[in-house]
């Protein structure tokens, strides 16, 4: 049991208490960030004359060495240390003796852990954004290929009006684009450095917080030391954004599962992304899509869990906050894993144009257009609606589509119908006439695709990197 404290204690910590309190099993995940933060802290201490140049050099060199050894697996992070901060400091002291003991000057584990978690989350947020961008690229590719792949659009899971596959994929493009915007937003709000806040009330050393913030790639230091050590808003925001990502993925998975079913057969998922049955030899199951859908609950759970943990905590730091880590790590790993897998799955899925097209023909997806035809010939819309309702009823009795009725049969219901109706309600016409911005008509779709392409060409992370240089 290696602890950073103990001077004022007369008894050993109970073993169960030690285990209950320790966080090394999970906070070792950010050992790199802990070292990075310590190196920045030490550089700042030297710049301010609080440490000598020699002391700084010795500490930085040793910290970098610890990093390399952990990375190489020659230095193991073991549970004899309470947390990752204790592990690093103990190792440093073992190497440097007295000089190592100066590392923690003007710092508390409270601002240290606030920094580590923020550095870790910031990188994970950027990585998640990158994964979303990969998914958007695949979506755009499918959209470009399928502007004339006609399929039924649904409401209430009932065939409604014909659309195109490009249009359907475009809906998801918008969702994931908003997800990226949310991440960027969170990044902008969270990118302030808590280091230098001490335990809660700052410190008496003349720290240069602007300098540390700059070294660590932050916009600047946070402005209230009590808030700095107890702010976990950015984690809750990130979990909320991840929940939204998962909700979108889950809806998409649900559709892929439906489309992959024997009844729909709109898609064929690649063998590499499907699994078989131990008993039924014919089965090829969409397990990956189902798992992504299933894992959504885990991420939602993390969000609710952290919101609940935070709700009754008085200022400033309290140990409850240690609970932020395991669930956040799990949610991030889950969401990132799901994003990567889903992108691969989508990229390898084959779309059956013919099946989609055939499905659009059934289910009277052109009934609205038949009514619009009558309206163009002077029939008030409500009357046209009733007439086409009658047409549909006739078709249902005969089990055929509107286009299958003869002109004589149609005219028996309304004399307004002429031979040009068939052209007016063909699937192609139905789609092509929908040219309002955001609609499936090819010209409208091409316009949107050009906008999405331009959006993908500019990268906010790239811009962010450039402004930092």
What is the Cα Rg of the chain in Å?
A: 30
Choose between 8 and 319: whose C-beta lies nearer to ligand ARG.
319
Least spacing, CB of residue 269 vs ligand ARG, in Å:
41
Least spacing, CB of residue 298 vs ligand ARG, in Å:
21
Q: Of residues 83, 89, 129, 369, which one binds ligand ARG by CB under 6 A?
A: 83
The terminus-to-terminus CA distance of the chain in angstroms comes to 43
Q: How far apart are CA 165 and CA 266, in angstroms?
A: 10
Choose between 231 and 369: whose C-beta lies nearer to ligand ARG.
231
Residue 360, Cβ neighbours under 10 Å: how many? 23
Residue nearest to ligand ARG (CB): 322
Do the beta carbons of residue 165 and residue 351 sit within 8 Å? yes
Choose between 34 and 179: whose C-beta lies nearer to ligand ARG.
34
Coil/strand/helix, residue 258: helix
Choose between 170 and 194: whose C-beta lies nearer to ligand ARG.
194
**Which helix (H) or strand (E) segment is 153 a member of?**
strand 150-155
Choose between 23 and 334: whose C-beta lies nearer to ligand ARG.
23
Residue 109 interacts with ligand ARG (CB under 6 A)?
yes
Residue 135 interacts with ligand ARG (CB under 6 A)?
no
Residue 113 interacts with ligand ARG (CB under 6 A)?
yes
Q: Which two tokens stand for residue 5?
A: 């404290």
Residue 398, Cβ neighbours under 10 Å: how many? 10
Using the CB atoms, write b or e for 333-344: b if 16+ within 10 Å: ebbbebbebbbb
Catalytic hit among 25, 261, 277, 376 = 277
Q: Of residues 36, 91, 110, 359, which one binds ligand ARG by CB under 6 A?
A: 110
Least spacing, CB of residue 113 vs ligand ARG, in Å:
4
Residue 115 interacts with ligand ARG (CB under 6 A)?
no
Residue 28 interacts with ligand ARG (CB under 6 A)?
no
Q: Facing residues of 276 across strands?
A: none
Q: Facing residues of 350 across strands?
A: 268
Note if 277 is an active site residue.
yes
Least spacing, CB of residue 164 vs ligand ARG, in Å:
51
Do the beta carbons of residue 30 and residue 86 sit within 8 Å? no
Catalytic hit among 108, 156, 250, 278 = 156
Residue 126, Cβ neighbours under 10 Å: how many? 16
Note if 156 is an active site residue.
yes
Least spacing, CB of residue 5 vs ligand ARG, in Å:
9
Residue 23 interacts with ligand ARG (CB under 6 A)?
yes
Do the beta carbons of residue 461 and residue 181 sit within 8 Å? no
Give the C-alpha distances (Å, rounded to integers) separating 408 from 367, 374, 378, 383, 416: 18, 16, 20, 20, 11
Which residue from 254, 290, 286 is spatially nearest to 273, judged by alpha carbons? Answer: 286
Least spacing, CB of residue 457 vs ligand ARG, in Å:
41
Site string for ligand ARG, 319-348 (x = CB under 6 A): x-xx--------------------------
Least spacing, CB of residue 1 vs ligand ARG, in Å:
15
By CB atoms closer than 10 A (0-12, 13-18, 19+), residue 352 is middle
Task: Count the residues of the shown chain that bind ligand ARG, applying the rule CB under 6 A.
Answer: 10
Least spacing, CB of residue 305 vs ligand ARG, in Å:
15
Q: Facing residues of 164 across strands?
A: 150
For residues 265-324, which are near ligand ARG according to CB under 6 A? 317, 319, 321-322
Choose between 110 and 361: whose C-beta lies nearer to ligand ARG.
110
Choose between 317 and 373: whose C-beta lies nearer to ligand ARG.
317
Q: How far apart are CA 458 and CA 451, in angstroms?
A: 11
Choose between 175 and 313: whose C-beta lies nearer to ligand ARG.
313
Q: How far apart are CA 192 and CA 429, in angstroms?
A: 55
Q: Which two tokens stand for residue 407?
A: 């002109």
User: Which region, judged by CB under 6 A, interacts with ligand ARG, from 98-106, 108-116, 395-403, 439-447?
Assistant: 108-116
Which residue from 135, 138, 121 is spatially nearest to 176, judged by alpha carbons? Answer: 135
Strand 220-221, strand 192-193: pairing: parallel
User: Annotated active-site positions, please?
Assistant: 156, 277
Binding site for ligand ARG (CB under 6 A): 23, 27, 83, 109-110, 113, 317, 319, 321-322
């Amino acid at each position: 049991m290696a602890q950073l404290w103990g001077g004022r204690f007369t008894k050993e910590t109970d073993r169960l208490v030690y285990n209950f309190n320790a966080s090394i099993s999970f906070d070792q995940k950010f050992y790199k960030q802990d070292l990075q933060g310590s190196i920045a802290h030490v550089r700042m201490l030297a710049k301010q004359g609080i440490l000598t140049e020699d002391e700084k050099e010795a500490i930085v060199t040793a910290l970098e060495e610890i990093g390399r050894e952990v990375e190489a697996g020659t230095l193991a992070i073991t549970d004899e240390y309470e947390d990752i901060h204790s592990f690093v400091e103990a190792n440093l002291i073992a190497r440097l003796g007295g000089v190592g003991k100066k590392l923690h000057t003007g710092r508390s584990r409270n601002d240290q852990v606030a920094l580590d978690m923020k550095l870790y989350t910031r990188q994970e947020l950027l990585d998640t954004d990158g994964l979303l961008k990969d998914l958007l690229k695949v979506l755009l590719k499918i959209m470009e290929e399928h502007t004339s792949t006609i399929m039924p659009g649904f409401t209430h899971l009932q065939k409604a009006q014909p659309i195109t596959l490009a249009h359907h994929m475009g809906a998801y493009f918008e969702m994931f684009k908003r997800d990226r915007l949310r991440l960027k937003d969170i990044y902008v709000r969270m990118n302030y450095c808590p280091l230098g806040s001490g335990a809660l009330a700052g410190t008496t050393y003349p720290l240069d917080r602007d300098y540390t913030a700059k070294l660590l790639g932050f916009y600047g230091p946070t402005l209230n030391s009590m808030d700095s050590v107890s702010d976990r808003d950015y984690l809750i925001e990130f979990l909320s954004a991840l929940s939204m990502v998962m909700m979108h993925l889950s809806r998409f998975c649900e559709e892929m599962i439906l489309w992959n079913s024997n009844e729909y057969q709109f898609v064929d998922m690649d063998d590499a992304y499907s699994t078989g049955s131990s008993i039924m030899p014919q089965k090829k199951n969409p397990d990956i899509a189902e798992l992504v859908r299933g894992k959504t609950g885990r991420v939602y759970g993390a969000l609710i869990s952290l919101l609940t943990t935070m709700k009754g905590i008085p200022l400033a730091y309290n140990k409850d906050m240690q609970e932020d880590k395991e669930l956040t790590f799990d949610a991030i790993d889950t969401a990132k894993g799901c994003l990567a897998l889903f992108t691969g799955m989508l990229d390898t899925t084959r779309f059956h144009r013919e099946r989609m097209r055939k499905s659009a023909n059934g289910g009277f997806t052109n009934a609205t257009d038949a009514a619009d035809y009558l309206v163009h010939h002077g029939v008030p819309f409500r009357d046209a609606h009733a007439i086409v309702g009658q047409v549909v009823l006739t078709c249902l009795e005969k089990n055929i589509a509107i286009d299958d009725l003869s002109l004589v049969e149609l005219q028996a219901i309304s004399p307004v119908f002429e031979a040009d109706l068939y052209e007016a309600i063909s699937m192609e016409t139905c789609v092509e006439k929908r040219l309002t911005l955001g609609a499936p008509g090819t010209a409208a779709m091409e316009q949107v695709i050009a906008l999405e392409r331009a959006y993908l060409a500019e990268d906010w992370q790239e811009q962010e990197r450039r402004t930092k240089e």
